Amino acid sequence: MKIVVHDTASAMIDLLQRPLEERPEALREMLGPLQDVMGPVMGDFDMVQMHRGTGSGFRIDREDERYLPAVRQMRDARVWERIEESLAAAWERIQGAVPGIKHAETVHVVLVLGDPDDEHLTVRSRGYFGLGGFPGAIQLVMWPTETSLAKIGHAAAHEIHHNVRYANVVWNPMAVTVGEQVVAEGLAETFVRELAGEEAMGPWATALSGAALDRAYEKITADIDVAGMQHLTGYVLGDGTARRMGQPTVGLPDFAGYGVGLRIVDAHLKASGLTAAESVALPAREVLRNAGVATRA
């Protein structure tokens, strides 16, 4: 696997010094490697529109004096280099655990500055998140905070686990289930823990505990066979994000599916003796069965 971490620091510094009318095209060029991979899969899909909409990206329609110093702070903190180092270590672990596993030949990694006024990014997600379920593409979004600067490399490791999983597990937006989504998130966060310890895990993994986690577990496992991507956001990311994306709410708090997925995967690992790296391509139904969660399949 060739991992290409694009130099979006230079690209964003250049973009942010251009006239406003030139910025959309500069952004399109910067996001081009992701568009090339994701566009053919998603059909009528535009990375620039996602950036402007639910993607939490920096604004390109107005000046903001906070942006350039933020990019320079990220560059000075070696964010791009640390992402590359984390991805190399993550891929080495997966490849060692499952020799010969199917994977994208090249994975393009694009880090984008986020919008500091976007609550989903800066409050819910503590300044960072990623998207890595399309083999060959990983997008990371961050606004520099103490948490995001410390953990953005771990988010990249989380996303490469997804990237390899979905080079092996068929992901159909019409047929994907709650079970697949929560298992995938649980595996990816457990993988981060295997690589770098519990402190490396994202805020989504530890958002729920105690009785709140118990209630979410009961709700999600009862609806484990609900299918169709348009129905799943509430189960995985919670009602707040579902409302933001115009999707159905299901009565669950932020990141409910991550904590539940982690509980399921921990039970699977205990029952099977496998690691999250070794489990990267396992069918969700096998992980759920090992964890004692009943499915119709």
Claim to verify: residue 231 and residue 95 sit in the same structural domain:
no
CA gap 214, 21 in Å, rounded: 50
Claim to verify: residue 148 and residue 240 sit in the same structural domain:
no
Q: Mean pLDDT throughout 114-134?
A: 95
Claim to verify: residue 11 and residue 112 sit in the same structural domain:
yes
CA gap 94, 161 in Å, rounded: 8
Nearest to 63 by CA among 130, 15, 132: 15
Confidence grade of residue 46 (pLDDT, cut at 50, 70, 90) = confident
User: 50, 35 in Cβ contact below 8 A?
Assistant: no
Q: What is the pLDDT of residue 52?
A: 83
Domain boundary (121, 147, 168) is at 168
CA gap 56, 217 in Å, rounded: 28
Q: pLDDT tens for residues 249-265?
A: 999 999 999 999 999 99
Residue length, the chain? 297
DSSP-derived letter for residue 182 is H
User: 121, 115 in Cβ contact below 8 A?
Assistant: yes
Residue type, 265: V
Is 297 a residue whose pLDDT tops 70? no
Question: What DSSP string describes 2-45?
Answer: EEEE--HHHHHHHHHTS-GGGHHHHHHHHTHHHHHHHHHHHSS-
Domain boundary (168, 187, 222) is at 168
Q: What is the pLDDT of residue 58?
A: 97
Domain boundary (119, 145, 168) is at 168
User: Which residues, other chains included, contact 58 with Cβ-Cβ below 8 Å and sequence gap of 6+?
Assistant: 12, 64, 67, 112, 113, 114, 115
Domain with 16 in it: 1-168
User: 165, 184 in Cβ contact below 8 A?
Assistant: yes
Q: Domain count of the chain?
A: 2
Claim to verify: residue 31 and residue 68 sit in the same structural domain:
yes
| Residue 44 or 100, more confident | 100
Claim to verify: residue 239 and residue 133 sit in the same structural domain:
no
Is 226 a residue whose pLDDT tops 80? yes
Confidence grade of residue 44 (pLDDT, cut at 50, 70, 90) = confident
Claim to verify: residue 227 and residue 294 sit in the same structural domain:
yes
Q: Mean pLDDT throughout 53-58?
A: 87
If you average pLDDT over every residue of the chain, what do you get?
A: 95
Q: pLDDT tens for residues 80-110?
A: 999 999 999 999 999 999 999 999 999 999 9
Q: What is the pLDDT of residue 76?
A: 98
User: Which residues, other chains included, contact 137 with Cβ-Cβ below 8 Å and sequence gap of 6+?
Assistant: 33, 34, 37, 38, 107, 108, 110, 131, 163
Confidence grade of residue 69 (pLDDT, cut at 50, 70, 90) = very high
Claim to verify: residue 263 and residue 131 sit in the same structural domain:
no
**Residue 129, beta-bridge partner list:** 141
Q: What is the pLDDT of residue 296?
A: 83
Task: Give percent above pLDDT 70 in the chain.
Answer: 100
Task: Give percent above pLDDT 90 in the chain.
Answer: 89
Claim to verify: residue 139 and residue 250 sit in the same structural domain:
no
User: 260, 212 in Cβ contact below 8 A?
Assistant: no
CA gap 240, 254 in Å, rounded: 6
Is 295 a residue whose pLDDT tops 90? no
Claim to verify: residue 45 and residue 65 sit in the same structural domain:
yes
Tell me how many degrees the CA angle 217-220-226 measures, rounded to the nearest 5.
165
CA gap 295, 227 in Å, rounded: 12
Question: What DSSP string describes 263-292?
Answer: HHHHHHHHHH---TTTTTT--HHHHHHHTT
Claim to verify: residue 127 and residue 190 sit in the same structural domain:
no
Claim to verify: residue 27 and residue 162 sit in the same structural domain:
yes
Is 179 a residue whose pLDDT tops 90? yes
Q: Which residue reads 């992701």 in tokens?
A: 34
Claim to verify: residue 91 and residue 29 sit in the same structural domain:
yes
Confidence grade of residue 43 (pLDDT, cut at 50, 70, 90) = confident
Is 176 a residue whose pLDDT tops 80? yes
